[in-house]
Amino acid sequence: MAAPARFPRVALVGRYGSPALAAPLAELADFLTARGHSVVIDEGTPLPAVDSAPAADLARHADLAVVVGGDGTMLALARRVAPFDVPLIGINQGRLGFLTDIPLAHMTATLTAMLEGRYLEQRRTLLAVAIEHTDGKREEALALNDAVVNRGSLGTMIDCAVAIDGRFAYALRADGVIVATPTGSTAYALSAGGPILAPQLKSFLLVPVAPHALTHRPIAISDECSIAIRVTQGLDAGVHCDGQDHYTLAPGDCVTVRRAAFHARFLYPEGHDYFAALREKLHWSATPERITPPGAAS
């Protein structure tokens, strides 16, 4: 069979260390091969008779990446493939599944329609994070959800100075401060009391974490702004990107966050409704007595 015009090369990525994914990944590989796609899999999740590639090189071998797992797996892959403009489809084998939203039981039927062109595309903003240390060392990272400057294992609060576009905004004594994208507004920022931003908004959130003053509140700003967070005091501070990439901070170190030069591309089934997803994931419109506790019999 000739390779289809859309997405001739498809990369598969599964959640690491999950033996339960072997069967659905094999099913997906067979399904895609039968349709005429060439399939490559991340070498961390090998399948017999399927070509593999290192995670760092996967985007060079793919026109589309399909993730089977949870949002954490998707976050890690999105940061790798975004610079190569490779779109992503997520099949949920995790918990909430804001990014990996296609049910495992419906994956082949849903993918059939999407591979025939019946899908919606959303481009999500990423954060470009630069860490300037007082010793002159510089580190860089990407984040799709958030960059979080916070206290470490010693448990003491940290002091920070926050500047926006080079202008001092406020000083903060707290457990930390979150810089979140609209995608990350339903993650840690939400738990810290931040608002939900619709994905198409061109905004960043600045959300304090357990501030030592009642006057500190979350704020939304334009994603064209540059945000600088300098640690002024704190023995064990750090910055964490998507909760996966971690960097140690010392007093005087500065974290600068800007909008990245590229976007993450997500493909969703035709008819995808962001607000319906929020109702389902966050139990909107459900009274407490109608919410079944985790582990309870339905």
3-state secondary structure of 172: strand
Q: Which residues of 38-65 are buried (b: 16+ CB within 10 A; e: fewer)?
A: bbbbbeebebeebebbebeebbebbbbb
> If we measure between CA atoms, which residue out of 185, 193, 197 comes closest to residue 146?
185
* 176 phi, psi to nearest 5 deg: 165, -170
71 counts as catalytic: yes
Tokens standing for 21?
Answer: 């994914």
Count Cα atoms within 13 angstroms, Cβ side, for 246. 9
- As a whole number of angstroms, the distance between CA 216 and CA 205 comes to 13
Which of the following is catalytic: 42, 57, 63, 71? 71
- As a whole number of angstroms, the distance between CA 264 and CA 85 comes to 7
* Helical segments of the chain, H only: 22-34, 71-81, 107-115, 188-191, 274-282
CB 248 within 8 A of CB 238: yes
Rg of the Cα atoms in the chain: 21
CB 177 within 8 A of CB 159: no
Distance, CA of 2 to chain centre: 34
Amino acid at 285: S
- As a whole number of angstroms, the distance between CA 225 and CA 243 comes to 23
CB 247 within 8 A of CB 237: no
- Catalytic positions, written as ranges: 71
